[in-house]
Chain A
């Protein structure tokens, strides 16, 4: 079942060999500066047509609720859909290799030249900019993913648990997570489905 399919597979649109998958994700991994998601969409949906927009959004929402980075989870999900286990492995290797090799080199360079005054000055600016970048992710995710006023309470409770009470991340995740899931419990009586 997980054996690699050949390029001559039945559905013409979604036909992809292991090698195609690896190369496509390698390209995404090497070019996706500033965030992987838009590159994934233009490559997988628009260019290759391996999945359609609806599948893309659905896979993205699965990727976001699972632990793991969106980029690698998407690679696994799309690879699995196209070619089973081998497809997943090809996709995740492809998307990780370019950045991994680059950061391997950066790590060595930083170890050698990290205390040069120019490097420390540049890194100070880079780190401050990265804080701004994460804040903007927090804002745009909150706009998109929070559906109830109380969600902000759960969000604040998580921050306090980790930063003030010094809970470990898994503890905060489990305690606040279970409370939040119970709060969003499914409707008891099966009535008309809600309008979202």
Chain B
């Protein structure tokens, strides 16, 4: 019944997987929140993540909604602290020691080596999400349309996600 300890554990763990972006943790987040703890369904997770892209601020704030569903206001607060605490602490420690690391020859290697892996994790998260979100010709067209527009023009992505909502209402309400 009391989900608070589980929320703290799961989101502190997911926190450390967000290398290169929140999406990197998405496959693991799906397994833990949907399959293991059943706090929400896979479509709900996709919906919350996508709506979260329209909110200002860090783009993984949808974790607050999951925390609220599983454990009310306390759940939301615990989830927020668990998800941002560990990486914030790490960033703080690195900020303090960065000057010393500057002369370390492997620093550059780590940066160059982690880049393709973190992009790979991002792509893996994208594929996991696409399995649930791109279910037919229409949704595929929306995804490709947004991709092409973002590559071609400087548009605020939040507006395109909002446009996706409008197209969704127009195409899928029958």
Residues in chain A within 8 A of chain B (CB atoms): 28-36, 61-73, 76-77, 80-81, 85, 88, 92, 95-96, 98-100, 102-104, 106-108, 110-111, 114, 117-118, 120-142, 145-148, 151-159, 162-163, 168-170, 172-173, 176-178, 180-187
Contacts and interface: CB of A to CB of B under 8 A. Distances in A.
Instruction: Determine chain A's interface SS by DSSP, over half rule.
Output: helix
A117 B170 CA distance: 11
Contacts of B18: 67-69
Q: How would you classify the secondary structure of chain B's contact residues: helix, strand, loop or mixed?
A: helix
Given A66-B87, A129-B146, A135-B126, 9 more contacts: A67-B87, A68-B18, A68-B88, A100-B80, A124-B168, A125-B139, A126-B164, A163-B127, A173-B117
B26 to A, nearest CB: 9
Contact of B168 (A28, A68, A121): A121
A153 B120 CA distance: 10
A125 to B, nearest CB: 2
Contact of B57 (A30, A135, A169): A30
A196 to B, nearest CB: 10
B119 interface: yes
A155 B66 contact: no
A126 B117 contact: no
A128 B133 contact: yes
11 contacts: A65-B111, A72-B91, A85-B92, A102-B56, A106-B52, A107-B65, A123-B50, A130-B50, A162-B128, A169-B28, A173-B117
A163 B124 CA distance: 6
B76 A104 contact: yes
Contacts of B56: 29-33, 98-99, 102
Contact of A35 (B22, B59, B133, B143): B59
A77 B66 CA distance: 28
Given A128-B140, A130-B133, A138-B119, A98 B113 contact: no
